[in-house]
Amino acid sequence: MWLILKILIIFNALSFSQDINEYKKMMQQALQLQDQTNSQRDIRIERISGSVKVISAEGEEKDLKNNYQYPLELGDIIKTGYDGSAMIYIDNIAAMKLDRNSEFEITDNSNEPVFSLNFGSLISKVEKFVKKKIQFKIKTIQAVCAIRGTEFAIEHSKLGGESIFAVFDEGELSIFPTDAEDDETKAIKLLKNSEVVFSNQTKNRRVTKISRMSRYRNNFMDIRKRFLSHKKNWKRFTNEQRIKYRNLLFMKKNGLNSKNKNKNIKRVDKNRKHIEK
């Protein structure tokens, strides 16, 4: 009898030990997932006007019809039509306006994200304090632009294969040829109120005073206004919120369909224009 009792005690102890090990394993996995989530930037899109389309990495497509903010994920592509424009925010530290007839892609959503401007133009403001906090990159076929606190614009012509970079009233850019992305000796430092052209037609990448890109200067008043409003209301989406708003964006299940989607959006976003407080 004592032997049986002893065996049962040992068996229970082993089972308890296995449960503890399983629990520890689950906790470690949860912490790793949390670390991975925290290492990603909170990137969002907000339609301004006209035709704006989001295409997910899985090939799902959705035309934005409202002006709420939705979370963007790795592999998402944003396209604007001839009359379209949209804001893209990185946390509360950067705002980019994607202009009409443009295509923009999220190619890396790490702590220092990477984007691709496949064609078109964008205008951006990045907080000055970001100089010591974050760096992100925007790529075109011609060049890679490393960005810290600055006001800048990029234009890329798919037809001519030409990329133009400009810095406006503050900050600077480091621009690298695509075949020498990490070679500091090949970098061009672009200071305020200057622009540079990268083209297949010429290797003469001379920095000049802003001229061709000056037409984008008038965008900054609106961008600053929108960015200020975003910063006042910004709070990082939780995982649950990201899932919910992605489902709303692509009209996935969870009780949603095309007929009642707008009702659900109004209910979810009743007290917010930018984010759920």
- What pLDDT does 265 receive? 44
Q: Is it the case that residue 236 has pLDDT exceeding 90?
A: yes
In this predicted structure, the answer to whether residue 113 has a pLDDT above a threshold of 90 is yes
| pLDDT at residue 51 tops 50 | yes
The answer to whether residue 261 scores a pLDDT higher than 70 is: no
> Which pLDDT band holds residue 270 (cuts at 50, 70, 90)?
very low
Return the percentage of the chain with pLDDT > 70, whole number: 74
Does the domain at 43-233 match CATH 2.60.120.1440? Answer given as: yes
pLDDT of residue 258: 43
> What's the pLDDT score for residue 251?
81
pLDDT classification of 203: cutoffs 50, 70, 90: confident
| pLDDT classification of 233: cutoffs 50, 70, 90 | very high
Percent of the chain exceeding pLDDT 90 equals 59
Which is more confident, 199 or 21?
A: 199
* Better-scored residue on pLDDT, 72 or 170: 72
Q: Output the pLDDT for position 160.
A: 84
Amino acid letter, residue 71: P
Q: What's residue 263's pLDDT?
A: 44
- Give CA–CA dist 140/120, Å, rounded: 10
Average pLDDT of the chain to the nearest whole number: 82
Q: What is the pLDDT of residue 5?
A: 53
Per-residue pLDDT at 78 exceeds 80: yes
How high is the pLDDT of residue 35?
A: 47
Q: What is the SS3 string spanning the chain? A: CHHHHHHHHHHHHHHHHHHHHHHHHHHHHHHHHHHHHHHCCCEEEEEEECCEEEECCCCCEEECCCCCEEECCCCCEEEECCCCEEEEEECCCEEEEECCCCEEEEEECCCCCEEEEEEEEEEEEECHHHHHCCCEEEECCCEEEEECCCEEEEEEECCCCEEEEEECCCCCEEEEEHHHCCCHHHCEEECCCEEEEECCCCCCCCCEECCHHHHHHHHHHHHHHHHHHHHHHCCCCCHHHHHHHHHHHHCCCCCCCCCCHHHHHHHHCCCCCCCCC
Give the pLDDT score at 143.
94
More confident residue, 122 or 270: 122
Q: Hey, CA dihedral for 116, 172, 132, 44, is it positive or negative?
A: negative
Q: What is the pLDDT of residues 3-44, one digit of tens each?
A: 455 555 555 555 555 556 664 555 454 444 444 455 689 999
